[in-house]
Chains A and B, each alone.
Chain A
Amino acid sequence: MKRIFSVALGILTAIGGFVDIGDIVANAEAGARFGIAHAWVLLVGVVGICVYAEMSGRVTAVSGRPVFDLVRERLGPRVALANLTGSFLVTVLTLGAELGGVGLAVQLATSVDYLLWVPVVAVVLWVALWRAKFSVLENVFGLTGLTLIVFVVAFFHLGADPGQLWQQAAHPGPPQGEDWGTYWFFAIALFASALTPYEVFFFSSGAVEERWTARDLATSRVNVFVGFPLGGLLAFALMLTSATVFHPLSMSVDSLSQVAMPAALALGKLGLAAALLGFFAATFGAAMETGLSAGYTVAQYFGWSWGKLRRPREAARFHTVVLVSIVVGAAILLTTIDPIQLTEYTLIFSAVALPLTYLPILVVANDRGYLGNRVNGRTANALGVAYLIVILVAAVAAMPLMMTTRMGAG
């Protein structure tokens, strides 16, 4: 019974923890501009994160060590440094975007400007990461993030035209007034939002924090193959509601208040409250994950003591990196850059850095020295290589598309 409860809790937190500010922004923007013509991208992205998260979970459960630790050992410090640099920079930018998302969510609930909330949120985040237990943080925010289900309910209340939505999904491409460059720009942003690098580092290091062993492989796979796709459904609901409300009005979405509107239109104040709570939990949970991931990657590269299992005094350098990352993330926002714009930039830089994260994971997952007979099978390798090709194409195309479409402005 305890085992079933633990697995169920794992699935629920995986669902609630899947969505972050990148998913919220990318899905709502794509839904407003293109209807659900990008639905296939979300599907491709979710399958991709499942493939690589399964690999990282397996590597950690079998070897007892996090992926980043093995990457350095297996591929050497130079390759691992490239991986560290790309992933760390993107993770700190993502942390800034998440902090901004929390600030915006609180602003929508209080009408106090988000910039005033940013330092408060940063301090609360640091205290939470310093004091609270790993499992408590993961479960509280993962479960609270489930309130984003309100967008699924809202979609059914909004009375969308299923025929029109099917038409958009079945005929991918830009609608009238949009061009292919912008369509692909948003496709890459959506793809990157599903495969953000910190997700695999957090998943793998979290497995060490929870002391997973080879016996937990089944739990890991259930979390990944059930929890992540259901989390992807929440992201899809954001795209659907945005496509239902904003696309017919030919308008684009560039603020969090707009993203919440479909919930209010469909379900009133209660729906709005659930949406705001969901935004808060999703972004704060992701801020916690990115903050920890920043510490994990640096500490694992340099071989420092790390993790929430140890007292802060025993992992002082790890906690220092976490603290500095939070300060840098907050400082980025205090330049007054719009958090939504920061998220858009983060997604594109993330797309560029994706190969640096995923190639080493594929290499390590094929190493019998670490995994014995639990190395990748044919299917995992075929999918892994196929995704690596897609990731490479996205990485190469991201910057040129960003410039030619002026960040998707068209």
Chain B
Amino acid sequence: MRAGRKIAVVAAVAVLFWTGLAVELSRPGDFRAYHRAVLQVAQGAHDAAQTAKLAARLKAAHRTTPAFTAAAFDDAAKALAGAQKQFAGQAPPDERSARLRDRLGPLLAREITLLGDVMRADDDTALRFGARALDGLARQLDDFITGEGRAGG
């Protein structure tokens, strides 16, 4: 094959790939895509809650340093912020999706409050209370993920 033809073939493949990617990315969202995104958001929020819970327990038991606790809480907050950003960036395409949003939204809102409280807590009782609350919330998120995961998109 001559060099010119080789370049043409490579260029054609690249254009096809790019077009496919553009079509895929610009396709309007359906319930399935929204459902998948919501599950990802819930998983991110769940992980953030569990991380913050473990960090709070470690701090309450005096098994960690202030710098490490601060970094761990910070990681949890970043994970939650990332999940929230993803959640806010997706508009529900139909009624069924809106119901899904309405179930997850309050859980995320509650997590923001709980995470803020536990990050500010400076006595062991408040930390343990915060850890318990985050544990309960993590369970609710886990139930949501399991239930919706089983229901499928």
Contacts and interface: CB of A to CB of B under 8 A. Distances in A.
A272 B47 contact: no
Contacts of A249: 50, 138
A31 to B, nearest CB: 14
A272 B61 CA distance: 13
A251 interface: yes
Interface string B89-129: 00000000000000000000000000000000000000000
Contacts of A110: 67
Contacts of A367: none
- The secondary-structure label for the interface of chain A is helix
Contacts of A260: 68
Contacts of B138: 249
B67 A265 contact: no
Given A177-B146, A265-B58, A268-B63, A257 B72 contact: yes
A261 B58 contact: yes
Interface in A240-254: 245-246, 249-252, 254
Interface string B41-85: 001001100110011001001111111101110010001000000
B58 A264 contact: yes
A89 to B, nearest CB: 20
Nearest to A257: B72
A257 B71 CA distance: 7
A63 interface: no
Most chain B CB neighbours (cut-off 10 Å) among A107, A261, A265: A261
A258 interface: yes
A265 B63 contact: yes
A209 B114 CA distance: 56
Interface string A79-111: 000000000000000000000000000011111
B140 interface: no
A269 interface: yes
A245 B47 CA distance: 13
A109 B68 contact: yes
Interface in A350-389: none
A409 B39 CA distance: 10
Nearest to A255: B75
Interface residues of B, number: 27
Contacts of A265: 54, 58, 63
A269 B63 CA distance: 5
B51 A177 contact: no
Size class of the contact patch on chain A? 20 to 34
A261 B46 contact: no
A255 B142 CA distance: 20
B29 interface: no
A273 B67 CA distance: 11
Interface in A159-212: 177
B149 A252 contact: no
Contacts of A264: 58, 63-64, 68
Most chain B CB neighbours (cut-off 10 Å) among A107, A254, A257, A261: A257
A269 B146 contact: no
A403 B51 CA distance: 27
A108 B67 contact: yes
A250 B46 contact: yes
A110 B72 CA distance: 12
Interface in A254-287: 254-255, 257-258, 260-261, 264-265, 268-269, 272-273, 276
A251 B47 contact: yes
B58 A251 contact: no
Nearest to A340: B75
Interface string B4-48: 000000000000000000000000000000000000100100110
A193 to B, nearest CB: 21
Contacts of A268: 61-64
B68 A250 contact: no
B65 A269 contact: yes
A273 B68 CA distance: 10
Given A177-B149, A261-B58, A272 B75 contact: no
Contacts of B62: 268-269
A252 B47 contact: yes
Nearest to A112: B67
A409 B64 contact: no
B64 A111 contact: no
Q: Which 6 residue pairs are nearest across A and B when measured between Cβ atoms? A: A111-B67, A255-B75, A257-B72, A268-B63, A111-B70, A251-B50
13 contacts: A107-B71, A108-B68, A111-B66, A111-B71, A177-B145, A245-B54, A249-B138, A254-B47, A257-B68, A258-B75, A264-B63, A269-B65, A273-B65
Given A250-B46, A257-B72, A261-B55, 13 more contacts: A110-B67, A111-B70, A250-B142, A251-B51, A255-B72, A257-B51, A261-B72, A264-B68, A265-B54, A268-B63, A269-B62, A269-B64, A269-B65
